[in-house]
Amino acid sequence: MKDLTTGKESKLIMQFAAPMLLGNVFQQMYNIVDSIVIGNYIGKEALAAVGASFPIIFALISMVIGFATGATIIIAQYFGAKQMENVKRTIDTIYIVLFFASIVLSAVGIIFSGPIFRLIQLPEDVLPGATLYMQIYISGLVFFFGFNGTSAILRGLGDSKTPLYFMIISTITNIVLDLVFVVVFKWGIAGVAIATIISQGGAFLTAIIYLNKTHDIVKLSVLKLKFDKAIFRESLRIGLPSGFQQTFVSIGLIAVVWIVNLFGTDVIAAYSIAMRIDSLAALPAMNFSAALATFVGQNLGANKVERVRSGLISTFWMTSVVSFIITAIAILFSRSLMGVFTNDANVIEIGANYLIIVSAFYVVFSAMFVLNGVMRGAGDTLIPMFITLLALWVVRIPLSWYLSQHFGETGIWWAIPIGWFLGMILSWFYYLSGKWKTKGVVKHPILIK
């Protein structure tokens, strides 16, 4: 556990973000290794199938992720206020909700995966693989929620190192199983999904055994879990806007995939690969934002509002430097990066075009996420939700459609940074208003300046 309410802001945020970033890099390796194995040993149709599955999966789980986000903010604020009994009740409530949500969502995903893919007009040569992959992957949600919920709880307590260790083990297991199931056993796309479930399940169970023996607060005993209605309601108040935001973002991404699908299998495969690389490039901004959210939560819980601005400025400069480095790498090596996943020349060229256009604006994406991290940490998730949905649904999706009619798939790529610009500007103005300071769980007399 780490107290973020004392000490130099930049150092604390860097120390907290670094293990979390490394852990999420390993987590992204799940998807990247899957794509490399699929692209090189199965084919571009299977690659497109996996890529088409992820927006659907994300749409199913996003509301629960939002709830967990709200609960994590509550843990950070209670921990900052040293209200440990409330911390323990929040942890129990998180585990209970995540378990029942995983059962319901697994059933929904297995039953409706085929009809959903037909609804978004997935090409017939991609449809069977996408349906099979999603049905297997979604059946292991209990492990996915369990491990990611445990990691979120630990981050709320200021511990970003412990989840890293188990994520490294999980990723190595996934890589080995991918190669065994696909290359040796020839299980195809099903082998990739099964490898992911086994890896996530092993990480969750190993983490729980370790924490039950060593941790003072995070101890999972099924028979001793207690559901707290008040904390559940507070988690919903903070988490539902994030959940709705994630849900509508994922539905928006499905809408974008529908537009991409109109351009055929090569564009779908290129988009799937580029999104993998793009997701990896976005990790520094997302993890520094998450670290800042915990930092803000603990400091507002401790009534140290003055530290928030210093934390924001430090985080902005750190993410900006990292963003410029990643942009240079993505532009200079765009074709080489695409070539790791496939040897299809047309797919490589389409994906490289995506990377060159989108990566030039990573600094804008980082600024938007950092500002939203402050508001999330304060427990103010409603306005960021509206800003995100406005940038996506009013700007990016209509522009994707309009520009694609005139410039082909390149128009879809240009709509992405335009949406980021709007989101960053609106987030900055709301931050300046100071209204987010009054949204904390632990109430203090806070002056808006």
3-state SS of the chain? CCCCCCCCHHHHHHHHHHHHHHHHHHHHHHHHHHHHHHHHHCCHHHHHHHHHHHHHHHHHHHHHHHHHHHHHHHHHHHHHCCCHHHHHHHHHHHHHHHHHHHHHHHHHHHHHHHHHHHHCCCCCCCHHHHHHHHHHHHCCHHHHHHHHHHHHHHHHCCCCCHHHHHHHHHHHHHHHHHHHHHHHCCCCHHHHHHHHHHHHHHHHHHHHHHHHHHCCCCCCCHHHCCCCHHHHHHHHHHHHHHHHHHHHHHHHHHHHHHHHHCCCHHHHHHHHHHHHHHHHHHHHHHHHHHHHHHHHHHHHHCCCCHHHHHHHHHHHHHHHHHHHHHHHHHHHCHHHHHHCCCCCHHHHHHHHHHHHHHHCCHHHHHHHHHHHHHHHHCCCCHHHHHHHHHHHHHHHHHHHHHHHHHHCHHHHHHHHHHHHHHHHHHHHHHHHHCHHHHCCCCCCCCCCC
Q: What percent of the chain has pLDDT over 70?
A: 96
- Contact, 62 vs 246, CB < 8 A? yes
Average pLDDT estimate for 412-428: 94
The reply to whether 267 falls in a domain is yes
| pLDDT (tens digit per residue) in 342-376 | 888 999 999 999 999 999 999 999 999 999 888 88
Average pLDDT estimate for 405-432: 93
67 or 314: whose pLDDT is higher?
314
Average pLDDT estimate for 333-345: 89
Instruction: Look at residue 83 and tell me whether its pLDDT is greater than 80.
Output: yes
Instruction: Look at residue 405 and tell me whether its pLDDT is greater than 60.
Output: yes
Number of domains in the chain: 1
The reply to whether 1 falls in a domain is no
Instruction: Look at residue 448 and tell me whether its pLDDT is greater than 60.
Output: no
Return left, alpha or beta for 300; rule: phi > 0 is left, psi -120 to 50 is alpha, else beta: alpha
**Lowest mean pLDDT: which of 174-183, 207-216, 263-272?**
207-216
- Contact, 159 vs 134, CB < 8 A? no
DSSP per residue, 49-65: HHHHHHHHHHHHHHHHH
Banded model confidence at residue 444, pLDDT cuts 50, 70, 90: low
Rounded to whole angstroms, the Cα distance separating 376 from 370 reads 10
Banded model confidence at residue 446, pLDDT cuts 50, 70, 90: very low
**45 to 56, 76, 99, 202, 427: CA distances (angstroms):** 17, 44, 34, 30, 39
Average pLDDT estimate for 199-224: 81
CA 54 to chain centre: 12
pLDDT reported for residue 402: 95
Average pLDDT estimate for 262-272: 87
- Contact, 163 vs 150, CB < 8 A? yes
Contact partners, residue 198, CB within 8 Å, separation at least 6: 173, 177
- Contact, 420 vs 385, CB < 8 A? no
The reply to whether 449 falls in a domain is no
Range 117-147 burial, b when 16+ CB lie within 10 A, else e: beebebbeebbbbbbbbbbbbbbbbbbbbbb
pLDDT reported for residue 5: 74
pLDDT reported for residue 443: 55
Sequence-ordered strand ranges (E) for 28-129: none
Banded model confidence at residue 305, pLDDT cuts 50, 70, 90: confident
The reply to whether 43 falls in a domain is yes
| pLDDT (tens digit per residue) in 120-173 | 778 888 899 999 999 999 999 999 898 888 888 887 777 778 888 888 888 889
Paired tokens of 133: 């992959």
Rounded to whole angstroms, the Cα distance separating 118 from 94 reads 34
381 or 394: whose pLDDT is higher?
394
Average pLDDT estimate for 422-431: 92
Ranges 83-97, 284-298, 392-406, most confident:
392-406
The reply to whether 4 falls in a domain is no
Instruction: Look at residue 441 and tell me whether its pLDDT is greater than 70.
Output: no
pLDDT reported for residue 194: 94
Banded model confidence at residue 442, pLDDT cuts 50, 70, 90: low
Count the Cβ atoms, other than its own, within 10 Å of residue 153.
24
The reply to whether 389 falls in a domain is yes
Q: Is 11 exposed, middle or buried (0-12, 13-18, 19+ CB in 10 A)?
A: exposed
Banded model confidence at residue 58, pLDDT cuts 50, 70, 90: confident
The reply to whether 421 falls in a domain is yes
pTM for the model: 0.69
pLDDT reported for residue 449: 46
Segments forming the whole domain that contains residue 302: 9-438
Nearest to 151, CA basis, from 223, 68, 225, 82? 68
Q: Where do we find the tokens 């195809």? A: 188
pLDDT reported for residue 447: 44
Rounded to whole angstroms, the Cα distance separating 370 from 320 reads 10
Average pLDDT estimate for 402-406: 93
The reply to whether 118 falls in a domain is yes
Contact partners, residue 407, CB within 8 Å, separation at least 6: 414
Work out the mean pLDDT of the chain and round it to a whole number: 85
